[in-house]
Amino acid sequence: MNWMRRNLEEVFSLPAPAVEWLMGLFGVIQVFDDVADGDAVERPDLDKAILDSLVRMPANQFYLTYPAALSSALQTMVLKWQASDRLEREGNAGPKAYMWRAGFYDVVLLVVSLCHGPEAAQEAAHLVLELYGESLEDYMKEFENA
């Protein structure tokens, strides 16, 4: 996750509370995805996800400044992940499911816009979306033997 923090801080120049909130979100969704997939989750990762989701993220000053926008973005992110997960579980993993899984980066783009304005977000949009490191080919390989 150091690469994510580095990008949020250095490439997008986000303030510390925004970075901390996004990093908490990133960790939480990784743990939730592992739980949903039945993958092993280390106890320290679970404990951190519990604390982040129930305490740190809701109390974060950046979140408290933009609760309506961020809550709406989170709801959309969750719905997109659930739609992707449904397709995958039905044996229909493909380009659409792959795209829908990347909702976290929609939230990052919103945070860039909230911090720096829509024009700056427009300039950075391609860089934000390029943070999604999984290729379609790698994604599809996960389901070849499923």
Alpha helices in the chain (DSSP H): 2-6, 16-37, 43-51, 57-59, 61-65, 67-89, 95-100, 103-116, 118-129, 136-144
Mean pLDDT across the stretch 46-67? 97
Where does residue 87 rank: exposed (0-12), middle (13-18), buried (19+ CB within 10 A)? middle
Q: What percentage of the chain exceeds 90 in pLDDT?
A: 78
* pLDDT value of residue 93: 87
For 32-51, the pLDDT digits (tens) are 999 988 999 999 999 999 99
Position of tokens 């990008």?
7
Of 62, 78, 72, which Cα lies nearest the Cα of 114?
62
Q: What is the dihedral of CA 27, 22, 62, 57, to 10 degrees?
A: -10
For 65-86, the pLDDT digits (tens) are 999 999 999 999 999 999 999 9
* Residue 59 CA, distance from chain mean position: 19
